[in-house]
C-alpha cells in the first residue's frame, strides 16, 4: 500500500467514524426523547413497516453501486447505467410498497400500517434520484463531503422528528423524520458532487450479470436475518416488536460507534491486498482478532447493568421492563454481528459470490426452520431471541471452517487468542457482581458508572497480566503488548509536552 493510499485510508476512517458518531448520537438522543413520549406499540408499528419496506427494497439491491466500486476502469456509460438501474428499480419499489399497503395492514392486523406504508413509499423515490456521484467519492476514499451530507440530513431529520413527536405525540414523527432525511440526502448529493447522471442502459447487460447473484443473495439474506422480527410481528403482539426493536437498537450501539465506521475502510484495505495472497490472508486473520479483542469486553456491560442502561436510554425501567429482560441476551449481538460481517467479507472479496449465496440459503433454512418450530410449540419473545442467537452462533462456527479452507483462517490461533480474553471478561464480571455487596447506589446512572468502572479496571488488569504471560510464546499477544506500549508512550509524551 502506497503512502498516499495509507493517508486516504486513515482520513477515510476518521471521517466515517465522525459521521457514524454524529448520526448514532442523534439517533440515541431521539430514542431518549421518543421513549419517554411514545408507547411500545408505536415503536412496534414502525418496526413492522420497515420489515415490509425492507422486503421490497431487496428488488433494488442489484449491486450496481458495488459494481462501480469494484470495477477498475470506469467509463461514463458504467456510471450512468448504474444510476438508471437504481432509478428504475426504486420507482418499482415505491409502487410496490404503495400498492401492497392495504394487504400488509390486513396481514399484520393493524389498519394504521396502510397509511404509514403509503407515506414511506416516497422514500424509494428519493433514493432513486440520489446522485451516483456519492459512490464515485467513496471509490476515491473521499469521505469528507459524504460525511457532511449524511450528518446534515440526519440533523434536519432529528429536528423534524423531535418537533413532530413533541407537538403530536404520534408515531408519525418516525415517518416524517425518515422522509426528511432521505429527501435531504437526495438534494445534498447534487450539491457536493459535480457529476450529473444521465439516463443510460448501454452497460445494462454487463451490470446485471454481475448483480444477479447479489440480488438472489439479498432475498435469502433478508429471509434469514429478518425471520425473527417477521415472526414476532405476525404471531406476537405489536408491542413485542417494539421491545425487540428497541432492545436490539440499544444492544448494538457500541457497534455503531466503534466498528460500523470502519466497515468501508476495512473492506477497502482488504481489497487492496488481494493481489498479495499471503498478505491478504494475514490481514483477514488480524481483522478478526481485532474484532474479538474489542467486542468481548463490551458485550459484558449490558449483562451487568441492563436495568441501569434501560433507565438511562428509555427513562422508565417499569414501562420498558421487557427490554430489561431482553438486553442481556441481545448484548451478544455486539460480538456476533461484526464477526459475521467480516467472515462474509473475506469470502466475497475472493470472488466466491455463488458460495456466499449458498451459505445464505443454508442459514436462512436453519433460522426459519428453528424459529417456526419454536412458534409452533408456543415459544415467547425471549425464547425466540435465544433460538435466533444460537442459530447465528452455530453458523458463525461453520463460516470459520469455510474461511479456513478459502482464506487459510487459522481457527486454532483464534481460539488461543480469544480464550484468555473470555476468561478475563468472566472474571471481571464476577468481581462486579461481588462488588455489589459493598458498592451500591440509589441512582441508576451512578450505579452504571460504578459497574462499568469496576469491570474496565478488572478487565484491563487481567488482560495485562495475560499479555505479560503469553507475549513471549504467542506472537499475537506480542503485537498486542507492543501496540499498547507504543500508545502509552505516545500518551506520556503528549502529557509531558502539555
pLDDT of 134-190, one tens digit each? 777 776 666 777 778 888 888 999 999 989 988 888 889 989 999 999 999 899 888
Residues 177 and 232 in one domain: no
The CA distance from 298 to 301, in Å, is: 6
Q: What is the 3-state secondary structure (H, E, C) of 38-81?
A: CCHHHHHHHHHHHHHHHHHHHHHCCCHHHHHHHCCCCCHHHHHH
Report if residue 217 sits inside a domain.
Answer: no
Band of pLDDT at residue 206, cut at 50, 70 and 90: low
The CA distance from 36 to 173, in Å, is: 14
Domain boundary among 409, 432, 455: 409
Output the pLDDT for position 271. Answer: 76
Q: Which domain holds residue 99?
A: 1-212
Mean pLDDT, rounded, for 106-124 = 90
Residues 159 and 230 in one domain: no
Output the pLDDT for position 486. Answer: 66
Do 268 and 9 form a contact (C-beta atoms < 8 A)? yes
Q: What is residue 380's three-state secondary structure?
A: coil
Least confident piece of the model among 99-103, 173-177, 237-241: 237-241
Report if residue 219 sits inside a domain.
Answer: no
The grid coordinates listed for 484 are 499498547
The CA distance from 232 to 365, in Å, is: 18
Report pLDDT digits (tens) over 391-444.
999 999 999 999 999 989 999 999 999 999 999 999 999 988 888 767 777 777
Band of pLDDT at residue 213, cut at 50, 70 and 90: low
Residues 40 and 128 in one domain: yes
The CA distance from 152 to 138, in Å, is: 18
Instruction: Tell which residue, 195, 188, 162, has the closest CA to residue 177.
Output: 162
Residues 176 and 286 in one domain: no
Q: What is residue 35's three-state secondary structure?
A: coil
Between residues 263 and 296, the one the model is more confident about:
296
Q: What is the DSSP string of 185-229?
A: HHHHHHHH---------TTHHHHHHHHHHHHHHHHHHHHHHSHHH
Do 351 and 278 form a contact (C-beta atoms < 8 A)? no
Band of pLDDT at residue 55, cut at 50, 70 and 90: confident
Residues 257 and 200 in one domain: no
Q: What is the DSSP string of 386-429?
A: HHHHHHHHHHHHHHHHHHHHHS---HHHHHHHHHHHHHHHHHHH
Q: How many domains does the chain have?
A: 3
The CA distance from 203 to 389, in Å, is: 42
Output the pLDDT for position 487. Answer: 57
Does the pLDDT value for residue 101 go beyond 70? Answer: yes
Report if residue 202 sits inside a domain.
Answer: yes
Mean pLDDT, rounded, for 47-69 = 71
Does the pLDDT value for residue 115 go beyond 70? Answer: yes
Amino acid at each position: 500500500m502506497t503512502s498516499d493510499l495509507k493517508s486516504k485510508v486513515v482520513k477515510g476512517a476518521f471521517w466515517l467514524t465522525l459521521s457514524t458518531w454524529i448520526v448514532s448520537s442523534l439517533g440515541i438522543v431521539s430514542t431518549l426523547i421518543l421513549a419517554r413520549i411514545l408507547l411500545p406499540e408505536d415503536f412496534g408499528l414502525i418496526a413492522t413497516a420497515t420489515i415490509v419496506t425492507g422486503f421490497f427494497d431487496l428488488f433494488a439491491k442489484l449491486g450496481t453501486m458495488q459494481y462501480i466500486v469494484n470495477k477498475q476502469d470506469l467509463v461514463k456509460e458504467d456510471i450512468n447505467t448504474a444510476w438508471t438501474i437504481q432509478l428504475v428499480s426504486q420507482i418499482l419499489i415505491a409502487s410496490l410498497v404503495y400498492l401492497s399497503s392495504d394487504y400488509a395492514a390486513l396481514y399484520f392486523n393493524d389498519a394504521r400500517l396502510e397509511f404509514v406504508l403509503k407515506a414511506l413509499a416516497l422514500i424509494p423515490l428519493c433514493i432513486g434520484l440520489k446522485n451516483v456521484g456519492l459512490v464515485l467519492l467513496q471509490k476515491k476514499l473521499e469521505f469528507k463531503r459524504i460525511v457532511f451530507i449524511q450528518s446534515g440530513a440526519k440533523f434536519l431529520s432529528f429536528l423534524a422528528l423531535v418537533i413532530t413527536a413533541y407537538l403530536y405525540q404520534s408515531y408519525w414523527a418516525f415517518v416524517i423524520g425518515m422522509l426528511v432525511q432521505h429527501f435531504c440526502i437526495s438534494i445534498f448529493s447534487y450539491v457536493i458532487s459535480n457529476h450529473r447522471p444521465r439516463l443510460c442502459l448501454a452497460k445494462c447487460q454487463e451490470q446485471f450479470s454481475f448483480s444477479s447473484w447479489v440480488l438472489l443473495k439479498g432475498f435469502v439474506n433478508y429471509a434469514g436475518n429478518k425471520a425473527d422480527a417477521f415472526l414476532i410481528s405476525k404471531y406476537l403482539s405489536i408491542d413485542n416488536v417494539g421491545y425487540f426493536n428497541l432492545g436490539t437498537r440499544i444492544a448494538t450501539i457500541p457497534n455503531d460507534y466503534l466498528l460500523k465506521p470502519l466497515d468501508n475502510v476495512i473492506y477497502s484495505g482488504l481489497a487492496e491486498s488481494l493481489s498479495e495472497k499471503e498478505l491478504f490472508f494475514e490481514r483477514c486473520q488480524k481483522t478478526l482478532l481485532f474484532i474479538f479483542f474489542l467486542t468481548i469486553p463490551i458485550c459484558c456491560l449490558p449483562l451487568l447493568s441492563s436495568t441501569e442502561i434501560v433507565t438511562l436510554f428509555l427513562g422508565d425501567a417499569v414501562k420498558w421492563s421487557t427490554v430489561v429482560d431482553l438486553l442481556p441476551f441481545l448484548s451478544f449481538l455486539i460480538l456476533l454481528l461484526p464477526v459475521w460481517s467480516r467472515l462474509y467479507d473475506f469470502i466475497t472479496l475472493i470472488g466466491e459470490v455463488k458460495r456466499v449465496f449458498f451459505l445464505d440459503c443454508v442459514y436462512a433454512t436453519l433460522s426459519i426452520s428453528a424459529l417456526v418450530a419454536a412458534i409452533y410449540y408456543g415459544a415467547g419473545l425471549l425464547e425466540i431471541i435465544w433460538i435466533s442467537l444460537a442459530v447465528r452462533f452455530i453458523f458463525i462456527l461453520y463460516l470459520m471452517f469455510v474461511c479456513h479452507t478459502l482464506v487459510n483462517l487459522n481457527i486454532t490461533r483464534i481460539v488461543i487468542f480469544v480464550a484468555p480474553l473470555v476468561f478475563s471478561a468472566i472474571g471481571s464480571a464476577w468481581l462486579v457482581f461481588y462488588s455489589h455487596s459493598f458498592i451500591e447506589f440509589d441512582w441508576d446512572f451512578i450505579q452504571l458508572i460504578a459497574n462499568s468502572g469496576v469491570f474496565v479496571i478488572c478487565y484491563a488488569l487481567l488482560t495485562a497480566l495475560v499479555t505479560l504471560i503469553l507475549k513471549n510464546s504467542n506472537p499475537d499477544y506480542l503485537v498486542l503488548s507492543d501496540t499498547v506500549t507504543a500508545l502509552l508512550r505516545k500518551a506520556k509524551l503528549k502529557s509531558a509536552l502539555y
